Chain A
Amino acid sequence: DAGVTQSPTHLIKTRGQHVTLRCSPISGHKSVSWYQQVLGQGPQFIFQYYEKEERGRGNFPDRFSARQFPNYSSELNVNALLLGDSALYLCASSLVPGNTIYFGEGSWLTVV
């Protein structure tokens, strides 16, 4: 069975641009979360979606937004990119909130 899949794996953007990252959860998983991991640190929670509704939001500015689609896949959008947004963006899924959370390989975003 396929695990959590994310695209793209690597991308480079310029300050001020917009980026969209995509995630497909493990088949049957209805909860999707997004995390940001800056080099040398642990992941930081950005969003959680369950059954297409936002269930939690971390301490990130409004430039960050996300949504979950009817097939439970998800998108993370970041507007007006800053150099500090350069990080590994991880998507995770679980059957329901509170169960084991499985992570994808992540999307490396570099902002120049």
Chain B
Amino acid sequence: SQQGEEDPQALSIQEGENATMNCSYKTSINNLQWYRQNSGRGLVHLILIRSNEREKHSGRLRVTLDTSKKSSSLLITASRAADTASYFCATEQDTGRRALTFGSGTRLQVQP
């Protein structure tokens, strides 16, 4: 079963705009990771945020984590056409099993 659920399922914006994707999960976690996937390709790791962290930045990416609400958000600023992809959040649960549980993803389309 899916632990995380991304919202929205699909997002279409113009180049230069910001894109925000949200992720909710159900159980306690050790960390939450965001990945990007271009059509039919492998997953590219973007950011890992640990359960004791609230915010992390990497270039144009900003990730927040609210463990009280069991939610995370990924913000991509000044989007580019090359950002067009599916974005997934994945949680590593606090159960000792070091496996990632993925949501169903947000499909981002950036119009040039």
Contacts and interface: CB of A to CB of B under 8 A. Distances in A.
Interface stretch (B11-19, B36-44, B60-68, B69-77): B36-44
A100 B48 contact: yes
B98 A108 contact: no
Interface range for B: 20 to 34
Contact of B99 (A58, A90, A105): A58
Residue of B90, B98, B104 most packed against chain A (CB within 10 A): B98
Main secondary structure of the interface of B (DSSP, over half): strand
Contacts, number: 64
A44 B45 contact: no
Nearest to B92: A98
A45 B102 CA distance: 9
Interface range for A: 20 to 34
B39 to A, nearest CB: 11
Interface of A: 4, 31, 33, 35, 40-45, 48, 50, 55-56, 58, 88, 90, 92, 97-98, 100-106, 108
